[in-house]
Amino acid sequence: MVSPAIALAFIPFVVTLLIRYRHYFLLFYRAVLARRLRDCLTGIPKQDRAFQYVLTHSIPGDPLHILETFDQWSHHCEYLSNLGPQKAKILERLIYEKAPLTVLELGTYCAYATILIAQSLPLGARLYTVEMDAHKASVAEKIIRLAGFDDDTVELIVGRSEEVIPQLKEKFGLFQADLVFMGHWKRCYLRDLQLLEAHDLLPEGATILADNVIFPGAPQFLQYVKASGKYKWRIHRTSLQYFRAIPDGMAQLTYTGLQ
C-alpha cells in the first residue's frame, strides 16, 4: 500500500508529464479512446462515419471540396490519419514538378491522398493505389468515384503490399512507377522499398515520398536509405496531420539506379 506522502510526492511529476506531453495524450484520446467509444455507441466503423459526413457535406465531382470536407471532419468531429492540408501541399508540389505518368500509392485508407494525387496528375497519367483492408477499400472506392475519378485514372487494388508488389507487372500492367507514395504501415516501408527494387519497378530518377517518418517514425527505413547509396534524399519537416504541436516529417527519395 503506497503511503499518502509518497503519492503526493509523485503529483508534480505526473502534472509535468501531462503538461509536456498533453498533445500526445490528446491524440491518443481522439484517435483511440473516442473512436472506440463511438464505434460501440453507433455500431458503425469510423471510415463509414467519415464517408457519410463527406457524402452529406461535400460537392460531388469536386475533389478539392471533398478534401476540405475531410479536413473539417478531422478537425472538428473525429481524428482521421489522412494526409492533411500541410503535407498535401508537399505532395501536390512534387507531382507538379515531376509530372509522373505512373504513380503507386501504398495505403489508400480513406482515399484522401488518392484524390489529391489524381486531381494533380498530368493528362493521361494513371494512379495505382493499394489497400490491404477490404472494408476500407470499399469505402475508399466510393469516395474516389464521388470525386469523379474512374478506373482509367485510379485503379484500386485490394491486397497486402508484399503480395501485390511482385504482381504489379504481370497482373496489373504497372511496369515501373515514376512516383511512389508510402502512407501505409511504417514497419512495412523498408520491406516494400526493397521489393520495389528487387522487381525493377523503380526507373532511374523515380521519386518516393514516405509519410510519418518522424512520428510514429520509420528508423530502419531511413537508416537503409542513408546507407544504401541508391538514393538522394531529404526530409520535409512538418507536423502531424491535424496536430501542429507534434513534429513529423516526410522523406523524399530520388532513386539513382546505382547498385
Q: What is the pLDDT of residue 21?
A: 75
One domain, residues 240 and 156: yes
How far separated are the first and last CA of the chain, in Å rounded?
62
Name the band, by pLDDT with cuts 50, 70 and 90, for residue 174.
Answer: very high
Structural domain harbouring 14: 4-76
Name the band, by pLDDT with cuts 50, 70 and 90, for residue 29.
Answer: confident
One domain, residues 97 and 60: no
pLDDT (mean) for 15-43: 83
pLDDT (mean) for 204-218: 96
One domain, residues 114 and 176: yes
* pLDDT tens digit sequence for 85-111: 999 999 999 999 999 999 999 999 999
- Which CATH number do you get for residue 227? 3.40.50.150
One domain, residues 64 and 92: no
One domain, residues 70 and 193: no
Picking from 58, 76, 94, the residue at the C-terminal end of a domain is: 76
Whether the predicted pLDDT of 18 surpasses 80:
no
Q: What is the pLDDT of residue 23?
A: 83
Whether the predicted pLDDT of 10 surpasses 70:
no
Beta bridge partners of 240: 243
Q: What is the pLDDT of residue 257?
A: 80
Q: What is the pLDDT of residue 22?
A: 83
* pLDDT tens digit sequence for 68-83: 999 999 999 999 999 9
One domain, residues 93 and 66: no
Beta sheet of 102-106, edge-to-edge order: 154-158, 126-131, 102-106, 179-182, 207-210, 243-255, 231-240
DSSP 141-155: HHHHHHTT--TTTEE
Picking from 24, 47, 76, the residue at the C-terminal end of a domain is: 76
One domain, residues 177 and 95: yes
One domain, residues 57 and 170: no
Number of separate helices (H) and strands (E) present in the chain = 12, 7
In 3-state terms, what secondary structure has residue 125? coil
One domain, residues 58 and 133: no
Could you identify the residue written with the cell 520491406? Answer: 191
Picking from 31, 54, 76, the residue at the C-terminal end of a domain is: 76
Whether the predicted pLDDT of 14 surpasses 60:
no
Q: Where are the beta strands (DSSP E) in the chain?
A: 102-106, 126-131, 154-158, 179-182, 207-210, 231-240, 243-255
One domain, residues 141 and 246: yes
Beta bridge partners of 105: 129, 181
**pTM for the whole thing?**
0.92
Nearest alpha carbon to residue 158 among 136, 143, 179: 136
One domain, residues 222 and 96: yes
Q: What is the pLDDT of residue 99?
A: 96
The domain tally of the chain equals 2
Q: What is the pLDDT of residue 25?
A: 86
Q: What is the pLDDT of residue 24?
A: 86
One domain, residues 193 and 225: yes
